[in-house]
Structure 1
Amino acid sequence: MAGLDHPRMAMRLAGALISGHLNLAGARIAHAVWLEDCWFEEGVDLSGASAQSIAIVGSRVPGVEAGLIRIDRRLDLRRSRVTSGSASSFHRRVSALSLINAHVSGAVNLSGAEITAPGGWAVSAGGLVAEGGVYCDDGFIAHGEVRLIGAQLSGGLRMRGALLERPGQRGVALVLDNAVASTLDFSDGFIANGTVRLRGARIADSLTFEGAVLNGPPDGHGPSLAALLMQAVDFDFALARQPSGTVDLRGAQVSYLYDNDFSWPDMVELDGFVYGSIKVDEAGERRDAVGRRDSVAHRVTWIRRSPGYNPQPYEQLESWYRKAGHDDDARRVLLAKQRHQR
């Protein structure tokens, strides 16, 4: 019973076949629940329930509804296979795992889980509060869209090595619009076969895509990353390979930007993007981009990947060089701006 705070005061079940619908909606569950290596013939309804800890580990479940649940410690779905049916129409989507407006004082652990909702939402967790964070490591796979709109993740979101694929008709793999988090970790081989959307997300510490692959929507239409108005301290965008779709950073603000030769696709939206400094990843070492050979030419080419002409990216770049004490480079940026304007 590793992982439960009070293993002697728990309902435990292992290796069971559970037939019928397990309905605990609105229930007050006084002790921890631990279900391991179980096979559920029908879904589990925990909506509106209150509990100490709930663990459904290494099990097969045709859908978990846990909207409005209140959990004092943790929700553990490690290594489980959670599935849902197909959406019946374009306007109706089906969630395999629903955590809408749930409140978990500890962590939500989905590490090693595989969550499948063909044409629907693999995870629907708008308004989720997870004080201990959300963990989607150790081979986590989502077939369908993962939605955490407006989530409050004071313990962060960790998706190291996760695979997000088959996002459905909209081509969106992950949505964190207006989410508030301490950290967002999409590193160590994270793959998104669909758009990653971070519109208005606020990250108190680091947002990292180090070693990630952002393939964008399978049909090639839509951005690989849409991070309009995103705010973060560290923004590590040292990818494993070039994104297939647009990277949209309009209005985003970061203190430190880290990039490499694979960071930027053919089109980058930079109007309104503000950064404090830029460092370049070379052979695993982070070095200041300012003052490097061909630095100005490289950064001006980066700006020219934006569609049309916008003065702000040039002015931001010029300001960065000037604050770093490279006035000659700053003047070169202003000349490039004038040429582009003409």
Structure 2
Amino acid sequence: MEINDLTAAELRVWRAFPRGEFVDFRTVDDEDPATGAGWGPERTVRAAVLRSLLLNGPQEDGEIASLSLAGARITGMLDLQYATIDHPARLRHCYFDEVPRFYGCRLRELNLSESVLPGLTSHAVHVEGVLRMTRARFRGVVRLGGAQIAGSLYLEGAEISAPDAQDPALQLNQVTVGDDLWAPGLRVHGQIRLNGADVGGSVNLNEAQLSHLGHGPLDAETLSVGGHFLMRHARVQGWIGLRGARIAGRLDLAYSHLSNPGEAVLRASSSTIGELWLRKGPPMEGTLNLRRAQIEVLFLEPEMLPDRVLLNSLTYTSLTPHEPAERRIPMLERDGDGYVPHAYEQLTAAFQRIGDDHAARLVQLAKQRRHRGTLPWFGRLWGHVQDVTVGYGFRPLRAAGWLLSLLAVGSVAFALHHPRPLKADEAPPFNPVFYTLDLLLPVISFGQEPAFAPKDGYQVLAYVLVLTGWILATTVAAGLTRTISRQ
């Protein structure tokens, strides 16, 4: 491009480039670049001029050339497909008429902060430093699929709006970020796609506002994060997809409002997470899916749970904060898969690891009661008997209470009306207490029961005591067997 073809504004940029000087066309510091469509020729720069500078711009000995521009209206398409750019490109507070194209481009650094763009096409871009789009506003799709960014990707306070687009609004699938994906306060109307992305540092989406109701505003299947995934104080309308994700640190959803009524709100099945924090927020609206997930620390406050959860094959090492079993068990009863024995065993193990054996027994009792509902009528009947008598073996003192009560009833009844002896000259002296014990305890004999024969109603009482004794003995044996098998 000949220098004689440049406008006054373009000439200013051209002369500043070889010395790396900053060119600022703004009239005030807080100027809104969204009004850039009305900016005149005094601050308009053609994209072709910027392309020429970045590819073959003038050089000066002893100076470091760079493109550093603010407050300009950039007309035409900035097309740098497959180019190798050795100079930093900083286009801040600018207004782009057309979508810039960096497909397959290699850059030292790219800064589009505070700019307004109709979109961005940067598939497979390579950035040796950082890619900064702080508080940028995009009115179309941002395509960064397969990008390789050695440093950090900054999107804090950025806004991307592409609700009617067929493609995701922010495409970061298969992206590789060496450091952090830093995007607190990000606002996206559409979907963020992070499938297969690899972030060496942390992902920060604190205070983000994501909306794609009925769809997934955040689809991050098989995402790999070396640090934390932070979404504190976020507001998400639609589902969050983390199936098969690997998060070494903390997945923090504290204080966040997550809503997708009638469908899944968090899909984290088959994921591996260091810590999952669900706390201090309103109840989730939708279904929480943690099937087959592996979590070291599950920081879960019952108040944040939705009405439906999926916990089949979920494993966790620690469950905090410590809550009584009565507040944890309802989580298992909300499982959309029905009766899931594994979920009860996991909760039991969590209580046992902190030494709360009473809570562990309550969970096992709840498991047996839930299992009872899956049995045929005779199984349910026998289950009710075990529950009432000995609490399925988890409340053995209840059997002693039943035995003492029946012993008292039988002793009083037979003391008031002695049964007749079968052989008067051979019968031992009658003892109502030991006679009742002979009836109640099927494996112990005090010589009373075979020597005496009650009649009429007292014979019926004897039959009841014998039958009850056998039932208590059987349920106690079943409870002891269950306890021994658990140990």
TM-score range, shorter chain: 0.7 to 0.9
CA 1:327 to 1:221, structure 2 compared with 1: closer, same or farther past 3 Å? closer
Residue of structure 2 equivalent to 1:233? 274
Q: Answer whether contact 1:177 1:201 (CA < 8 A) is retained.
A: yes
Matches within 5 A, 1:1-342: 8-84=64-140, 96-120=141-165, 121-137=168-184, 139-165=185-211, 167=212, 171-181=215-225, 182-187=227-232, 189-216=233-260, 220-280=261-321, 289=322, 292=323, 295-307=324-336, 308-342=338-372
1:247-299 per-position Cα deviation (integer Å, ceiling 9, x unaligned): 1111111111112243201101111111111112xxxxxxxx1xx5xx11111
Could you tell me which amino acid in structure 1 is paired with residue 369 of structure 2? R
SS in 1 for 2:345: helix
SS in 2 for 1:222: strand
SS in 2 for 1:30: coil
Could you tell me which amino acid in structure 1 is paired with residue 81 of structure 2? A
SS in 1 for 2:305: coil
Could you tell me which amino acid in structure 1 is paired with residue 293 of structure 2? A
Superposed displacement of residue 331, structure 1: 2.1
Aligned length: 308
SS in 1 for 2:316: strand
SS in 2 for 1:204: strand
Superposed displacement of residue 239, structure 1: 4.2
Structure 2: how far apart are the matches of 1:221 and 1:146? 21
Superposed displacement of residue 246, structure 1: 0.7
1:234-255 per-position Cα deviation (integer Å, ceiling 9, x unaligned): 1111142111111111111111
For structure 1, which runs of at least 5 residues remain unmatched after alignment?
A: 85-95, 281-288
Structure 1: how far apart are the matches of 2:65 and 2:313? 55
Which structure 1 residue ranges, 4+ long, deviate > 6 Å from structure 2?
none
Structure 1: how far apart are the matches of 2:364 and 2:94? 65
For structure 2, which runs of at least 5 residues remain unmatched after alignment?
A: 1-20, 23-62, 373-487
1:178-219 per-position Cα deviation (integer Å, ceiling 9, x unaligned): 0100210001x2111110110010011111011111012xxx
SS in 1 for 2:367: helix
Superposed displacement of residue 134, structure 1: 0.8
Structure 1: how far apart are the matches of 2:98 and 2:262? 37
Structure 1: how far apart are the matches of 2:98 and 2:123? 17
Residue of structure 2 equivalent to 1:87? none
Q: Answer whether contact 1:213 1:239 (CA < 8 A) is retained.
A: no
Structure 2: how far apart are the matches of 1:39 and 1:318? 59
Which structure carries more strand by proportion? 1
Q: Answer whether contact 1:209 1:239 (CA < 8 A) is retained.
A: no
SS in 1 for 2:366: helix
Residue of structure 1 equivalent to 2:53? none
Which structure carries more helix by proportion? 2
Superposed displacement of residue 222, structure 1: 1.7
The one of the two structures with greater contact order (alpha-carbon pairs below 8 A, sep at least 6) is: 1
Q: Answer whether contact 2:310 2:335 (CA < 8 A) is retained.
A: yes
Superposed displacement of residue 324, structure 1: 2.1
Could you tell me which amino acid in structure 2 is paired with residue 128 of structure 1? V
Q: Which of these two proteins has the greater Rg computed from alpha carbons?
A: 2
Could you tell me which amino acid in structure 2 is paired with residue 53 of structure 1? E
SS in 2 for 1:328: helix
SS in 2 for 1:262: helix
Percent sequence identity over aligned pairs: 29
Structure 1: how far apart are the matches of 2:114 and 2:356? 57
Structure 1: how far apart are the matches of 2:70 and 2:202? 31
Q: Answer whether contact 1:114 1:140 (CA < 8 A) is retained.
A: yes
Superposed displacement of residue 22, structure 1: 1.0
CA RMSD of aligned residues (A): 1.6
